[in-house]
Amino acid sequence: MVNFKSPLFCLDLAVFLRGQVFLLPVLYLFYQQNGLSLGDFFFFQGIVTSVSLLFYIPAGYLADLFSKKKILILSMLFALTRALLWLNFSGYWIVLIGEISYALSKSFFSGIVDSYMCDYLKTQNKQYKMTKKYGKLNFFMSLSSAISALIGPFFLTSFPLKFLVFLDVIFILLSIFCLCRLPELPIFNQKRTSLLGHYLEIFTVLRRIINQDLWRVIFYSGLFSATTILLVWSFQPLMLCSLIPIIWFGIISFINHMSRSGFSIFIEKVTNLLTLPQLKKLTYSFFIFSIFGMGLAFYIKNIYLSVCMLLIVCFTTGLQLAYTVAAVSYVHGKIKSENRSLISSVNFMVAALLSSGILLAIKQSLLFTNIEYSLFGYGALFILCIFMLNKIPKAGSK
């Protein structure tokens, strides 16, 4: 039975409301309305990823210094800043400042929300429920994104784009209200690590990963995550140039979220069926097909081919999430140290570094060629990278 007075219910509800970003499935249309190009679209997403990476560790440090509740509220205020800017102003710099603000929101939310949940369960002596509760939280995240993906484009048939931004403002304010109802929690770790110490801990984990030859598992996970981001951000430009109806923007985004949710739910069955190396080979095979298939869809601009490729990419992104979860779990099982909690941070940082580099490189390539040739070029580099990784001998081998 649901306890509506429970702080975890308030947290789940806040997360659900935060995920109602109705503009996201049609974000590229908003960029176009503000006079931005496809290159600007990829460039700004690269900036978002770079800023998120830059502030990921400081956010955790500030959460330990002030309180996780305050940092969660601050993250929503950054999201509110973007929504209010986009609602009242327009233009290149307004969009960029808004995206940077949203990147800060992501940095100050990721990692903090699960830490708050863990600390709360400790106060109730229910740490053993962390996996179940955190899985429930992720379900609400995916469900919220899927619902807003369906509803957002539907509203565009009757309302302007700014109306979607207005809805974002309303739901962000409701999310802030829920977060304000959360209790302040005691600090369990009285020995606070300095900001420099947090970065040194990351390097300590990296050194152990390299020494135990686990770096390639983390790199594959990061490479697959970065490629997913590139392909997913290509959805909207492809649908637009293929003259796919706006309502399908939401349907495809919904299917993508459901694919990832499905693989998350059945991850145990997937890992029982396939070993990690087998899952890796299956994943990068689908990625190779998806990258070149998306490039071909951009080149031909046929509505039926484009929809087929989008559906295949939706399956591929679900497969990517399955590999990432399996890979991180595998590394967790190999490393026995007090720094194990930082593995997720390392995985995030590698993925963010690769994502920002790829998106910024795509932006530069669009100055000289079209998006389809940029994807063909990236596909060739992706294959080369996989080939080189397989050629690097494992630690201890002659």
Q: What confidence tens digit (pLDDT) does each residue in 368-377 have?
A: 999 999 999 9
Q: What was the pLDDT predicted at 3?
A: 60
Q: What was the pLDDT predicted at 144?
A: 87
d(Cα 342, Cα 325) in Å, to the nearest integer? 15
CATH code: domain 193-392 is 1.20.1250.20
Q: What was the pLDDT predicted at 337?
A: 47
- Which is higher by pLDDT, 59 or 167? 167
Q: What was the pLDDT predicted at 378?
A: 95
Q: What was the pLDDT predicted at 332?
A: 63
End-to-end CA distance of the chain: 59
Q: What was the pLDDT predicted at 37?
A: 93
Domain with CATH 1.20.1250.20 in the chain: 1-188, 193-392
Q: What was the pLDDT predicted at 173?
A: 96
The CATH number of domain 1-188 is 1.20.1250.20: yes
Once rounded to an integer, what is the mean pLDDT over residues 161-170?
Answer: 94
pLDDT in tens, 205-254: 677 666 666 788 888 988 999 999 999 999 999 999 999 998 899 999 99
- Which is higher by pLDDT, 209 or 280? 280
8 Å CB contact between 201 and 342: yes
d(Cα 40, Cα 347) in Å, to the nearest integer? 27
Once rounded to an integer, what is the mean pLDDT over residues 38-64?
Answer: 87
- Which is higher by pLDDT, 132 or 27? 27
Which single residue is written with the structure tokens 């940029």? 374
Once rounded to an integer, what is the mean pLDDT over residues 134-138?
Answer: 72
d(Cα 89, Cα 362) in Å, to the nearest integer? 28
pLDDT higher than 80, residue 395:
no
pLDDT band for position 366 (50/70/90)?
A: very high
* DSSP letter assigned to residue 186: -
Q: What was the pLDDT predicted at 19?
A: 86
Mean pLDDT of the chain: 85
pLDDT higher than 70, residue 326:
yes
Identify the burial level of 310 via C-beta atoms within 10 angstroms of its C-beta, where 0-12 means exposed, 13-18 middle and 19 or more buried: buried
Secondary structure (3-state) at 201: helix
Q: What was the pLDDT predicted at 135?
A: 67
d(Cα 40, Cα 37) in Å, to the nearest integer? 5
DSSP count for the chain of H helices, then E strands = 17, 0
Which runs of consecutive H residues, i.e. helices, occur in 66-192? 68-88, 92-109, 112-123, 130-155, 161-180
Q: What percent of the chain has pLDDT over 90?
A: 47
pLDDT higher than 60, residue 190:
no
Q: What was the pLDDT predicted at 398?
A: 45
pLDDT higher than 80, residue 198:
no
- Which is higher by pLDDT, 334 or 239? 239
Once rounded to an integer, what is the mean pLDDT over residues 273-291?
Answer: 93
d(Cα 9, Cα 371) in Å, to the nearest integer? 44
pTM of the model: 0.85
8 Å CB contact between 80 and 172: yes
